[in-house]
C-alpha cells in the first residue's frame, strides 16, 4: 500500500514528492537524473505499469498509451475516476486529480511517437481468423453489428480526438475489454454504443475479433485518422456518448 499511496500523492502534488518516488522506482537512475518537474517525469508513474513511454507492458494486460487520441485517453481517466471502469489502482491514482491535469496527461501520451512491436504469432485457427476479419471489416447486418472500421477508422488506427485504434493490442487485452463490456463491468458515457454492439456478439465472436486484430501488423502511418470513414452501403450510423459527432461548419 505504500507504493500506491506514494503514486497517488505524487500525481496529486508532483512538485513536492516526485523526486522521492522516482528514487523508489529506479534508485540507480534517480542518483543521476535531476528533478525537472516536467510532465514527462511526472508521467513515469503511469509508465511503471504501461511500459516505457507508454509502449504497453509485456504481460498483455496494461495497454499502450503512446499515440492514442487525447480525447480517448482523457475519457478513460474520467471513467476510472467516476466508476465506469473498474481497476482499484487506476481509481486511486486519478481520484485526486483535476480534469485539467488529466487532460495534460492525456495530451502528453497522445503526442508520443514510438514504434509498435511486431504482432505476436497467433494460435487461432483459420476459421476463427476469417470470422474475426469479417466482423471487423464488414460487421454482421443480420444482427445489427456494425463493422469495427466504421468507427475506429479504415486503417483501424483510431479517429481523433476520441476513438482509439484497435491494432497493436494483445488478444488477451482486447478479449478482456470486450468481455468487460458484455458483463457490464466496463461502461462509457451514454449512449454507450460499445455496450450495445458487444451485447450482440457471442463469446466466440469476441475471441475471433480479438484474435484477428492482435495478429495484424501496423500500417506505415499509425496516427489516428482525422475524420470518420464514409458509411458503407447499407450501414447505419451509430451514436456514441464518448465520441460525439462534431458539427460541420
- What SS3 state is found at 14? helix
Residue 144: count of CB within 10 angstroms of its CB: 12
- Looking at the structure, tell me whether residues 8 and 90 fall in a common domain: yes
Tell which of 76, 110, 144 closes a domain: 110
- Write down the pLDDT at residue 59: 80
Is residue 118, in this structure, part of any structural domain at all? no
Number of domains, the chain: 2
Is residue 55, in this structure, part of any structural domain at all? yes
- Write down the pLDDT at residue 57: 84
- Looking at the structure, tell me whether residues 49 and 90 fall in a common domain: yes
Cell of 180: 468487460
- Looking at the structure, tell me whether residues 100 and 130 fall in a common domain: no
Q: Which CATH number is 153's domain given?
A: 1.10.760.10
- Looking at the structure, tell me whether residues 60 and 147 fall in a common domain: no
- Write down the pLDDT at residue 164: 97
- Looking at the structure, tell me whether residues 96 and 153 fall in a common domain: no
Is residue 88, in this structure, part of any structural domain at all? yes
Q: Whole-angstrom Cα distance, residue 30 to residue 169?
A: 31
Is residue 242, in this structure, part of any structural domain at all? no
- Write down the pLDDT at residue 128: 98
Is residue 243, in this structure, part of any structural domain at all? no
Each residue's pLDDT tens digit, 102-147: 999 999 999 999 999 999 899 999 999 999 999 999 999 999 999 9
- Looking at the structure, tell me whether residues 24 and 98 fall in a common domain: yes
Based on DSSP, count helices (H) and strands (E) in the chain, helices before strands.
Answer: 13, 0
Is residue 219, in this structure, part of any structural domain at all? no
Is residue 245, in this structure, part of any structural domain at all? no
- Write down the pLDDT at residue 28: 47
- Looking at the structure, tell me whether residues 24 and 89 fall in a common domain: yes
Q: Whole-angstrom Cα distance, residue 8 to residue 96?
A: 8
* 216: nearest Cα among 148, 143, 151, 139: 148
Nearest 5°: the CA angle 65, 69, 72 is 85
- Looking at the structure, tell me whether residues 36 and 135 fall in a common domain: no
- Looking at the structure, tell me whether residues 199 and 159 fall in a common domain: yes
| Domain interval for residue 167 | 126-214
Q: Whole-angstrom Cα distance, residue 57 to residue 49?
A: 6
Q: What is the model's pTM? A: 0.83
Is residue 227, in this structure, part of any structural domain at all? no
- Looking at the structure, tell me whether residues 51 and 135 fall in a common domain: no
- Looking at the structure, tell me whether residues 49 and 105 fall in a common domain: yes
- Write down the pLDDT at residue 21: 35
- Looking at the structure, tell me whether residues 137 and 208 fall in a common domain: yes
Tell which of 79, 110, 141 closes a domain: 110
Tell which of 64, 83, 110 closes a domain: 110
Residues of the chain with pLDDT under 50: 1-30, 247-249
Do 137 and 145 contact (CB within 8 A), yes or no?
no
Each residue's pLDDT tens digit, 151-169: 999 999 999 999 999 999 9
Amino acid at each position: 500500500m505504500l507504493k500506491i499511496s506514494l503514486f497517488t500523492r505524487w500525481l496529486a502534488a508532483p512538485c513536492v514528492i516526485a523526486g522521492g518516488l522516482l528514487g523508489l522506482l529506479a534508485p540507480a537512475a534517480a542518483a543521476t537524473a535531476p528533478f525537472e518537474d516536467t510532465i514527462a517525469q511526472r508521467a513515469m508513474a503511469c509508465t511503471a505499469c504501461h511500459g516505457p513511454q507508454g509502449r504497453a507492458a509485456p504481460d498483455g494486460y496494461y495497454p499502450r498509451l503512446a499515440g492514442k487520441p487525447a480525447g480517448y485517453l482523457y475519457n478513460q481517466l474520467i471513467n476510472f475516476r467516476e466508476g465506469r471502469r473498474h481497476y482499484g489502482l487506476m481509481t486511486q491514482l486519478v481520484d485526486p486529480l483535476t480534469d485539467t491535469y488529466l487532460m495534460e496527461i492525456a495530451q502528453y501520451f497522445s503526442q508520443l511517437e514510438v514504434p509498435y512491436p511486431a504482432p505476436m504469432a497467433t494460435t487461432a485457427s483459420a476459421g476463427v481468423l476469417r470470422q474475426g476479419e469479417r466482423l471487423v471489416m464488414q460487421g454482421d447486418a443480420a444482427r445489427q453489428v456494425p463493422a469495427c472500421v466504421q468507427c475506429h477508422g479504415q486503417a483501424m488506427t483510431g479517429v481523433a480526438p476520441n476513438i482509439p485504434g484497435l491494432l497493436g493490442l494483445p488478444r488477451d487485452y482486447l478479449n478482456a475489454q470486450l468481455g468487460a463490456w458484455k458483463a457490464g463491468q466496463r461502461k462509457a458515457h451514454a449512449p454507450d454504443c460499445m455496450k450495445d454492439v458487444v451485447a450482440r456478439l457471442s463469446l466466440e465472436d469476441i475471441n475471433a475479433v480479438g484474435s484477428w486484430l492482435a495478429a495484424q501488423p501496423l500500417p506505415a502511418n499509425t496516427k489516428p485518422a482525422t475524420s470518420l470513414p464514409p458509411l458503407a452501403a447499407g450501414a447505419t450510423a451509430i451514436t456514441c456518448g464518448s465520441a460525439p459527432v462534431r458539427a460541420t461548419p
